[in-house]
Amino acid sequence: MSANGLNGKAALVTGGSRGIGAAIAKRLAADGADVAITYVNSAAPAHAVVAEIVAAGGRAIAIQADNRDATAIEGSVTETVNAFGRLDILVNSAGIWRAAPVDQMSLADFDETMEVNLRAPFVASKAAAAHMGEGGRIISIGSNLAERVTDTSLSAYSTSKAALVGLTKALARDLGSRGITANVVHPGSTDTDMNPADGPHADHQRQKMATPRFGKAEDIAGMVAWLAGPQGRFVTGAALTIDGGANA
């Protein structure tokens, strides 16, 4: 039995081929869960994550599913249940970043941001909840930029992540009587290939933090694993920020 007691549980992590999603998938597997991950174009990294989990003695599968396609999202839930016989944990990690000042933000970019960052978690959560029982967990990856918009050009991204909080609180109310929790984790600046700690905008981000260093994807994964485990059973409808004090 793992320390967090996820043995016998099954998880689906959207966008689990790299970055924070990959770290979450590996951590949930290390804590004993069977894990499915979705990817869009990153087939090789996705299968590398699966291979690492399997090599460590876990069970994992990779599923191609575009978060812009509701049918594909629903299919990934079905495929996870078919592979593992159950679904206990959904982590909505897939997301996109579109940035431009509001007078330059295209409607297409705004709509795509809402489609991937907000509509997809709704679709996945609805589909997953149909298979969950007591102890089910829905955990979405938001952003500290949902709580505090510290720069320009964030009208689409911050809106999508702030709306994710509202969705999470509503899910907590709708599903609480069934023993299913719903929470959102807000990462701050995290060292990934999309936002590297040595990137051109990194120093600007560090200046905002109480502890001026980028987080690691494993830091975010640790919070997700805690929420997914038995110790997180009384936490629901919450937004938990991990940002080195940037929003302090």
Query: For the purposes of burial, counting CB atoms within 10 Å of the CB of 193, is it exposed (0-12), middle (13-18) or buried (19 or more)?
Result: exposed
At a CB cut-off of 8 Å and minimum separation 6, what does 211 contact?
A: 244, 245
Residue 75 sits at the vertex; the CA angle it makes with 94 and 131, to the nearest 5 degrees, is 90
Q: In what order do the strands lie in the sheet with 34-39?
A: 60-64, 34-39, 10-13, 89-92, 137-141, 181-187, 239-242
The one catalytic residue among 39, 110, 157, 214: 157
Q: Which residue has the tokens 């996945």?
A: 124
- Residue 136 — φ and ψ, nearest 5°? -65, 150
Q: In whole angstroms, what is the distance from residue 135 CA to residue 107 CA?
A: 39
Q: Is 157 a catalytic residue?
A: yes
Q: Which residues are tagged catalytic?
A: 157
